[in-house]
Amino acid sequence: MRKRWILVTTWLLMSAAGQAMAGGGLSSRDTSRLEEGERIYQQYCASCHGSEGEGQPNWERQNAQGELPAPPHGPEGHTWKHSDAMLYGIIAEGWRDPWNKTERLTMPAFEDVLTPAEIRSVVDYLKTLWTPEQRRHQAEESEGAPFPSQSE
């Protein structure tokens, strides 16, 4: 619980700084979106990616099925390298590792489980796990590949 509030506070401070520079005010929508994102993450994502986003053991090595285990979402992972559009798409539609020897998706699809806004809130929550530099990188990647409009 303590960590959760640290993350939320960090995110809010960053948002506040950014919005202050832009001349805007702090939105309570951000707070509720992050809380919702964390709740959904714990319900649907944590079983594979870890309750603190730590990923599965040996996530960098292919397993016997030819798949890479669920990666961490923190600074040591690679989630921050993907644009908003790509992260949204992977959660919504899932993704199949082409080296996967099974018939199943490597990352399950959640578009029938979560609304577009809920998917977006999960991605926003994941951003609280990154370093400021990683957030900057990801924001640049997202400039040409933002969230789909239906997630607003």
Partner 1 sequence: MNKIASRFRRALSLTSWVMASLSFVGTAGATEEALPSLSYDQTGERLLKVQANQLFESTDGGAAWTTIPLPDEVAEGRLVSATAEQALYIAGPSIGVQRSTDQGESWHEVDEGLPSQDVTAFTVHRNQPETLYAVVVDDGLYQSEDAGTTWKKMDGGPAQAVRRLVHSDMEGSMQTGWLYAVSDDAVRLSMDCFCGWRPTGELDAGRVYDLAYKLDDPEHVYVATGQGLWRSDNGGQEWQQVKGDGPTLVALTLAPQGTLYALNREGELMRSEDQGQTWTPLDA
Contact call for residue 56 and partner 1 (CB under 8 A): no
- Contact between 78 and 87 under an 8 Å Cβ cutoff? The reply is no
Contact call for residue 60 and partner 1 (CB under 8 A): yes
Among 62, 85, 109, 111, contact with partner 1 (rule: CB under 8 A): 62
Contact call for residue 49 and partner 1 (CB under 8 A): no
Among 12, 92, 95, 113, contact with partner 1 (rule: CB under 8 A): 95
Contact call for residue 66 and partner 1 (CB under 8 A): yes
Strand partners, 95: 107
Give CA–CA dist 41/35, Å, rounded.
Answer: 10
Which range in 4-12, 17-25, 60-68, 117-125 contacts partner 1 by CB under 8 A?
60-68
Ordered alpha helix ranges (H), the chain: 2-22, 28-40, 46-49, 84-93, 116-127, 132-143
Rounded (10°) angle between helices 28-40 and 2-22: 140
Helix (H) or strand (E) segment spanning residue 86? helix 84-93
How far, in whole angstroms, is CA 80 from its chain's centroid?
8
Nearest-5° Cα angle at 134, 5 to 68:
95
Which range in 17-25, 36-44, 63-71, 112-120 contacts partner 1 by CB under 8 A?
63-71
Q: Which is nearer to partner 1, 8 or 109 (CB)?
A: 109
Contact call for residue 86 and partner 1 (CB under 8 A): yes
Contact call for residue 17 and partner 1 (CB under 8 A): no
Among 4, 97, 113, 135, contact with partner 1 (rule: CB under 8 A): 97
